[in-house]
Amino acid sequence: MAEHPTHRLDRRRLLAGLGALPLAAAAGRAFAQEAQGQPLLDDPALPEPAGERMGWAIVGLGTFAVGQVIPHFQEAHHSRIAAFVSGNADKARTVGNAYGVSRFYDYASYDRIADDPEIACVYICLPVGLHAEYTIRALQAGKHVLCEKPMASTVAECEAMVAAARAANRQLGVAYRVHFEPTNIEALRRIEAGELGALRYVQCDHGFDANPEYPPHRWRLDKELGGGGSMYDIGIYGLNTSLMMLDGDPVEVSANYAYPRDDPRFAEVEGGLDWRLRMASGLGVQGSSSYCWKPYVSRQRYFGAEGSIEMQPATTYDENELLLLPGNGPAHVVGTDRPTRQFAAQVDGFSQAARANRPHRTPGEMGLRDIRLIAAMYESADKDGQAIRL
């Protein structure tokens, strides 16, 4: 197609015009406006100055802490990393150099955090079997604690953690990051707004294939460190996320083991569980959890009288998706903010709760509730699926 004459670039005219601009501007003839400063409007949600943010100690520098938690502190507005606690001094210094952290503790000197005014909050990123001890010691040191999920290995440990927080007058939260993840927040908003009508059924499936040669998987297959198996580790996402979307409490639970019982990986922990909750409203929640699925599965489904939501993946670090299936129109994907925002939002939410000394969105009592439910699931599975009243 021929170029329109008025679209041609006349180099001589362009250069002549540019050359004339300074002179014209100086003469006050080229521009009628001058740049002027304007005040900030409303609340621009600016980050706090670094020195005013709540200081955090990260306890445990494993794959999750180094790969997810620590990098996303860079996006936080009210939180900063003040110290690392690790049994590997070289690793702590290496990570510290990368993120400008120069205060280090090991597990022998852990209790000395009580004397460190730079540390207000502690994030427990240790294996499950160590959660109770290091959470309670941090609370006794006068620090607020956010503990990774699951909260602990047993109901008794969770109860002791909650009691320690109350005795110390400090906040205890469980790191259920999905409550801060934009895609799940949008699903909750639509459910609460009634877009699906009355919820009729919820389904959730979460699992992966555990590799005992891979260090981040190896400790999960150890009863003492991993707590109890797939339901503690990956299935708890489906349990907690489903209850996040619902009103009321479960009144009954049942479950069956669902994994090859002769698989040597599962000599100490369960490798899979199929479970069901019955809510007080009569609504059913059906879930499954596994350490022997390929590929990785993270799926939530909410079925309502007027529409449904499917999320797959649903609870990952960085690629969740919400598919809305309205009852009177085509299915479509709903866009939201970046899933990775969940990490900064979670620590900032806890920092603000700790500063005001008020309960966090996902408090220790929520973690205790979930471990009680998981314990009831195992009781049911041990009794061949017998329903357990709660």
How does pLDDT run across 78-113, given as a tens digit for each residue? 999 999 999 999 999 999 999 999 999 999 999 999
How is domain 179-337+363-389 classified at the architecture level of CATH?
Answer: 2-Layer Sandwich (3.30)
Look at residue 46 in the predicted model and tell me its pLDDT: 83
Query: In the chain, where does the domain assigned CATH 3.30.360.10 lie?
Result: 179-337+363-389
- Whole-angstrom Cα Rg for the chain: 26
Is the pLDDT reported for residue 164 higher than 80? yes
Does residue 237 have an active-site annotation?
yes
Q: Above 60 in pLDDT, residue 4?
A: no
- Phi first, then psi: give them for residue 289, nearest 5 degrees: -140, 140
User: Could you give the residue range(s) of every CATH 3.40.50.720 domain in the chain?
Assistant: 52-178
Band of residue 38 on the pLDDT scale cut at 50, 70, 90:
confident
Give the pLDDT of residue 7.
Answer: 42
Annotated catalytic residue, options 105, 110, 149, 259: 149
User: What's the mean pLDDT in 157-182?
Assistant: 98
Q: How far apart are CA 297 and CA 25, in angstroms?
A: 63
Residue 9, pLDDT above cutoff 90? no
- The position carrying tokens 């990785």 is 296
Instruction: Give CA–CA dist 42/60, Å, rounded.
Output: 40
Chain-wide mean pLDDT for the chain? 92
Determine which one of 176, 232, 237, 257 is catalytic.
Answer: 237
- Band of residue 345 on the pLDDT scale cut at 50, 70, 90: very high
* pLDDT level of residue 2 (50, 70, 90 thresholds): very low
**What class is the 52-178 domain?**
alpha beta
**Structure confidence at residue 41 (pLDDT):** 64
Pairing of strands 388-389, 250-257: antiparallel
User: pLDDT band for position 45 (50/70/90)?
Assistant: confident
